Structures are given as structure tokens and as C-alpha cells.
Amino acid sequence: MKEHEVGELQTINQQVMIDLIGNDHNEIIRFQQQFLIQAKQSLQHIATFYRTEQLAKIKEEAHFLKTSAKAVGAEICAHHLQTLEDSSQEQDKATCKLHIQSLSEELKRVYHCITPNG
């Protein structure tokens, strides 16, 4: 994805979930809450893999979480996960660190978007 296209992405694109499961507000919230739990666990795994220089495992974890991010409409998060996948595949630890930091910040924005009073 080109850099100028990132600005077109949304922290949470609600239409993605509506298109996927319909306009069931409670079900959408349930899926989003599950994503947050998964994202927290995945970010912890990614941090551990980074510290132990297991870049191939970072790629696997990023790919796994990216699928879920796309499903709940976390578009910017999915973008950061793709760039993390790419840099880990290239064995570029310094760039991985930057993408992990960006991912962490974006996950905070996702949390605030989908958690009432978050």
C-alpha cells in the first residue's frame, strides 16, 4: 500500500462489521471486544519475539492478527500489521521496532473507538 493511501484508512470502519454480520450492535461489540483481547495477547507475543530476535515468529503473529483486524474493520491496525510482516520477513529488526510501536499506538486508538467511555 502506498503511503498516501494510509490516510484513507480508518481506525475502525464500522461498515466492515455491518457488511459481515449485519447491523446487530451487540454482536458487533462482542466481536470487537474479542479482537481487543486477541490483540493484547498478540502484541505481548510480538514483543517477546522481538526481544528474543524471533523475527519469523513476529511475521506469523502479525499475519494472524491482521486477519482479525481486517474482519473488525481496524484498517490502520491491519496496515501496521502488514508493514510489520514485511519488515520481519526482511529480517529488519530496527524497522520492526518502529512498526511495533506504531501498532501499539494504533491499538490504543482502536480501544478508545470501540470501548464505551474508553
Contact 96/88 with Cβ under 8 angstroms? yes
- Residues of the chain with pLDDT below 70 are 1-6, 117-118
* Per-residue pLDDT, 4: 43
Sketch out the chain's domains with CATH numbers.
Answer: 12-114 (1.20.120)
* Per-residue pLDDT, 7: 76
Contact 84/46 with Cβ under 8 angstroms? yes
> What is the reported pTM?
0.90
